[in-house]
Amino acid sequence: MYEIEKNIKIKVRPTVDDVVKSFCEFDQSQQAVFFNRLAEITGEWGHPFCTQLQSVTDCGVLTLAGRNIMRQIGEYSLATYNTKGNLPTERQQ
């Protein structure tokens, strides 16, 4: 019997784990671009991003560990600007 080689295309939505693992494999520049794009995309929503953050906080699925990651991101990014004095330029905002 002979073998047949076939190429098959399928569309698969990434799981939450797929997205998280990909983010964790990004280098610092790619992670920065991720947050820049998140700001751009959510800026097109009909409501502020903080509304989504509040929904995530209220949904009952967020664990204490997840809440701590959210807090650390906010605190670290603010502390970095405050201690280094490197406020973003108009071009970076």
Q: How confident is the model at residue 89 (pLDDT cuts 50, 70, 90)?
A: low
- N-terminal to C-terminal alpha carbon distance within the chain: 63
Nearest to 32 by CA among 83, 73, 82: 73
7 part of a folded domain: no
72 part of a folded domain: yes
Q: How many domains does the chain have?
A: 2
Q: Is the dihedral of CA 83, 87, 92, 93 positive or negative?
A: positive
State pLDDT tens for residues 31-81: 999 999 999 999 999 999 999 999 999 999 999 999 999 999 988 887 766
Domain that holds residue 22: 14-44
pTM over 0.75: no
Average of per-residue pLDDT across 2-23: 95
Whether residues 83 and 56 fall in one domain: yes
